[in-house]
Amino acid sequence: MSIPPLTLRRELLGAGWTSAEVQRMRQSGVLSPVRRGSYVRPLDPQPDTPEAQHLLLIRATLPHLAPGWVLSHTSAAVALGLPVWGQDLTRVHVSRDGSGGGRLTRGVHRHVSPLVEEEVTVVDGLRVTTPARTVTDVARTVPFEQAVVVADAALAMLPLDRPALLAAQTRAELWRGAPQALRAIRFADGGAGSPGESRSRVAMHRAGLPPPVLQYEIRTGDGAVVGRVDFAWPQLRTVGEFDGRIKYGRLLDPGRSVGDVLFEEKVREDAIRACGWRMARWIWRDIGSFDPVATRLRQFFTTGG
């Protein structure tokens, strides 16, 4: 992620600049505020994603906090490189050891709860709650769908397994939001390959569809692999594919166009159908209103297509 270097007001004053000079640099556009007392220079490369913008906000905020605070919740998820679909990135979340309480101020949410050193790690110089603690905290405090996106990704991307997640949730079982955290952690599956696939899993669950097998290999009668699909119901000879734009972007090697990839996807789909499988596809906008996709899948399940 592109993160420009920060300039702190106190550093400028310590180097001999006056308050009036700092103010003039702000007014002239030489410095652009990230938050009070922290600036970037507009000519430097700027954050290119919401996550990068939040990471810049984190680095602009931490120097103004008292020692002892640790990045947590959504902010820890960002620092760990986890996707945070649908979450508010305008406020930095930090935690410290204590009993109950916390404080919400402009730009910062300070959480106070039991926190031991074993639940803290360091990422790029930042003290951050560990993956298991981060997923648990996120799952306690955001809606189910957003929590599943984070939990799925953590199981897929980080050195983390379900027993570790369940152990972290057990430690927090008397805290606010613990039951909803347990629900998301039990539902989590590291086989989901993207936030869109995680959201698709939630949409299927809400529609009452049977749980699919994730990342399933389709084979010909002689055992040759035709392709790997996002979702499969092997006994029903049905597969599902979430088509996000980024999915095709990841497939673009030098010299290949989107048209090349789409053609290859069509050949792949035809080969899967030739093996006797039925396929349903959907895109981002279909997830929020999943009924038509769910209806099509049910028709495949019950009528053979």
> What single-letter DSSP state applies at residue 4?
P
Percentage of the residues of the chain whose pLDDT score is greater than 90: 81
pLDDT at position 173, please?
A: 94
pLDDT digits (tens, 9 = 90+) for 173-194: 999 999 999 999 999 999 999 9
Angstrom distances, CA of residue 297 to CA of 205, 278, 291, 293:
13, 9, 10, 6
pLDDT(263) > 80 = no
Question: pLDDT band at residue 260, thresholds of 50, 70 and 90?
Answer: low
**Confidence label for 248 from pLDDT (cuts 50, 70 and 90):** very low
Q: What is the pLDDT of residues 270-284, one digit of tens each?
A: 899 999 999 999 999
User: Shortest CA distance to 218 belongs to which of 270, 263, 258?
Assistant: 270
Picking from 146-160, 169-183, 261-275, 282-296, which range would have the lowest pLDDT averaged per residue? 261-275
* Per-residue model confidence as pLDDT tens digits over 99-115: 877 889 889 999 999 99
Flag whether pLDDT at 43 surpasses 50. Answer: yes
Overall pTM surpassing 0.85 (yes/no): yes
DSSP conformational letter for 305: -
List the helix and strand counts (H, then E) for the chain.
13, 13
Looking at residue 2, what is its pLDDT? 67
pLDDT digits (tens, 9 = 90+) for 59-105: 999 999 999 999 999 999 999 999 999 999 999 999 999 987 788 98
Which candidate, 129, 141, 133, places its Cα nearest to that of 181?
Answer: 141
List the strands of the sheet with 32-35, edge to edge.
7-8, 38-40, 32-35
Q: Give the range among 9-23, 28-42, 115-129, 238-252 with minimum mean pLDDT.
A: 238-252
How do residues 193-213 score in pLDDT, each as one tens digit?
999 999 999 999 999 999 999
Please provide the distance, in angstroms rounded to a whole number, between the alpha carbons at the two ends of the chain.
Answer: 44
Domains of the chain: 1-46 (no CATH), 51-187 (no CATH), 195-303 (3.40.960.10)
Mean pLDDT of the chain: 92
Q: Higher pLDDT residue, 266 or 236?
A: 236
